[in-house]
Amino acid sequence: MSTTEPAALCVAVAGGYAAVGYHGDGLKLFSLESGDRTWASKDLRVSILCLMWLAADEPELLVSGGGDQRLRVWRQEEADMVLLGCFGVQQGPILALAQNSSYLASASDDCSIALWAVKDLTSDPWVDPSVISVLRGHSGGVTCLAFSPTGEELLSGGKDQVLMVWNASSSPPTLTQSLPHCHGDWITGCVWGPNCVVSCSSDCKIRMWDLQKGRSVSEILARSSLSAVCCLGEFVIAGCAEGELHVWKWDSGMEISRISAHRSRIHHCSVLPDPDKTKETKQEDMMVATASDDGTVKLWHPFQVQHHSTLQGHSGGIHGAVSKQKGVPAFLTVSQDRSLRSWSVAAAMESPLNQRGTVTALSFCQSGDLLLSGYESGRVELWKHNSAVGHKKVSDSSVTAICSMPDDQFAVGCRQRSVSVWKVEWNPQHNAASLLKVSTYSVPIPVMHLYYCSILLGTCEDGNIINVLADADREIDNWKDNTHILGMVANDEKSTWLVGEKKGQIVLGFMYAMGPKTELQSSCGKIELEMEETCGGKGGWITAVTVDRELVVCGDSKGNMWFKQPPNINSWSSKKPVRALPFPLMKLMSFFDDDEYYFGLIFP
């Protein structure tokens, strides 16, 4: 897939921010909370091939490795990055980075590995660091690095098909083991397992190595070159160029599963969520995410050979993925489409989209920063800045209506003839929300629409309009005269429009309330707006109506739209096709500018 802008090559996540490196265009910083780009490097026409945050507990320093053979250290200052220094001793592009508590290791295409003292890189004020040691032994570019769990040993793999183990705790660091001819092609990845090391290669093989014996103890042959590998407990997971996902036991080499996960190359695979290494791995809980050149991220239950869900959004191949270490469980992907996307692990893992059912209700919180969505499955989700921050299974039946209420509360109507009130408890430290039930009310007929205007109004499936929270005499009005109520549209904090359809005509109602003691029966009004032949065309039935002051906008089942617009409020415009699908719901935004009236529509 060709692009007119640089492709994203690598990503590193820490402290609520994601740094992304680009081909020939430096790096950029993104906020995980909002998804917005907060900073971009200037005049850095360099390919950034690898990134790593230092001091993971309080990350503020970022190291980048470039195609110009240089390392750069950047300090994060709120949403900006400041370049502290540029340094290097290697003569080829920097291909990989790894760190332990003492050293940052940089791998280069010049066959070398350079070790830098972390204390020098984190010194304040900044001083150009001196290289601690340059490790030479590879005869081809070094493509991958991994420190052992103790940090005392460094594993490297290269284009020379050799795995090497270095003693990083000795002074100076020394080569302790070399495993030549490990593969028949470039080594593309290496990781430490519990009792072995694992390597994958473009030669289509993944091999497990016993370092004490100095030999391969197991291997698996894939159909195409292998491009990604990760480990969890006794299991090794790998992705290949033909899109297959493999899982096997590292000690026996027994293949557990092989899944045709994608139609094109897998660039990254990882276990979700990040495992607690103190706990035993449970096969039934294991889920693997794969990122592919086909532009999708897929979640799998590999032991059941079951596809869980597909996360779509990228329009180009995905070239990298990384798990977010803190806050709401999430992972990020970078793609050839030049985008960085954040995915909610909790929402994706709990229930795939086809099990949640369709979205049946939407509402913004009164504060405006949270969106509530209800599903056919009875699930409610909270969204903030394009990320799911909370969810709750509120019913075994479909959600029919949602509306926001004061004090961070909202009401949910369900098909099983109930309305429940929930309170949002926000955890700013983890950027997550939990939902606590406040109360539940039974209704005789399912509520299809809800609106709060000092009282909680509900329109029932049979046309009744009720005060949901009232102890008695709930019915306010009824539209049972062949009128189909299409919704309630906010007018202000104490009044609302009711919109409906009756035999092809628009019906408008208006209700206001001044608190629970209002005589609601006397505060209702209803008029019918007759349709004219001038609306023209063979339209379908009316499916959506919205209103804002003198403006009334309608949509039908064939995707047509028409309206009454000031100053011509006595006649309808002609119908215009604006979408191929019916209008299930419309939200209206409008404003005046130089005596001209503008409006915009939002569709789910």
The model's confidence at residue 1, banded by pLDDT at 50, 70 and 90, is: very low
For residue 451, pLDDT over 70 is answered with yes
Instruction: Kindly report which listed range (28-42, 192-206, 342-356) carries the lowest average pLDDT score.
Output: 342-356
pLDDT tens for 362-403 read 888 877 678 899 998 899 998 887 677 888 889 989 999 999
Q: For residues 309 and 379, what is the distance between their CA atoms, to the nearest angstrom?
A: 17
**What's the confidence (pLDDT) of residue 3?**
39
Average pLDDT for 202-214: 88
Q: Average pLDDT of 200-222?
A: 86
Classify 145 as helix, strand or coil: strand
How many other C-beta atoms are found inside a 10 Å radius of the C-beta of residue 567?
A: 8
CA dihedral 532, 536, 540, 543 (to 10 degrees): -50
Of 37-41, 115-119, 129-133, where does mean pLDDT reach its minimum?
37-41
Segment 546-555 shows an average pLDDT of 82
- pLDDT bracket for residue 4 (50, 70, 90): very low
Contact between 379 and 391 under an 8 Å Cβ cutoff? The reply is yes
Binned at pLDDT 50, 70 and 90, residue 565 comes out as: confident
| 257-274 mean pLDDT | 75
The pLDDT value recorded for residue 92 is 96
Q: Tell me the β-bridge partners of 415.
A: none
Neighbours of 322 (CB within 10 A): 20
Question: Which whole number is the average pLDDT over 251-280?
Answer: 70
Average pLDDT score, the chain: 80
For the chain, domain boundaries: 8-87, 531-604
The whole-number average pLDDT for the span 535-543 is 65
pLDDT of residue 355: 59
Q: Is the pTM of this model over 0.75?
A: no
Architecture of domain 8-87: Beta Barrel (2.40)
Q: How far apart are CA 458 and CA 436, in angstroms?
A: 22
Judge residue 177's burial from the number of C-beta atoms within 10 Å of its C-beta, 0-12 exposed, 13-18 middle, 19 or more buried.
middle
> Which residues 6+ apart lie within 8 Å of 431 measured at CB?
16, 32, 33, 327, 328, 384, 389
The Cβ-side half-sphere exposure at 222, using a 13 Å CA radius, reads: 32
% of the chain with per-residue pLDDT over 90: 28
pLDDT at 541 over 90: no
Degrees, nearest 5: CA angle 287-288-291: 150
The answer to whether residue 559 scores a pLDDT higher than 80 is no
What pLDDT is stored for residue 114 in this prediction?
97
Q: Give the pLDDT band (50/70/90) at residue 266.
A: confident
pLDDT of 344 reads: 66
Average the pLDDT over 541-546 and give the result.
Answer: 83
What is the average pLDDT across 262-286? 65
Higher pLDDT, 140 or 299: 140
Task: Give the per-residue pLDDT at 347.
Answer: 58
Label residue 2 by pLDDT band (50, 70, 90).
Answer: very low
Q: Quick one: pLDDT at residue 277?
A: 46
User: What is the phi/psi pair of residue 490, to 5°?
Assistant: -60, 135
What confidence category does residue 84 fall into, taking pLDDT thresholds of 50, 70 and 90?
very high
> What percent of the chain is modeled with pLDDT above 70?
79
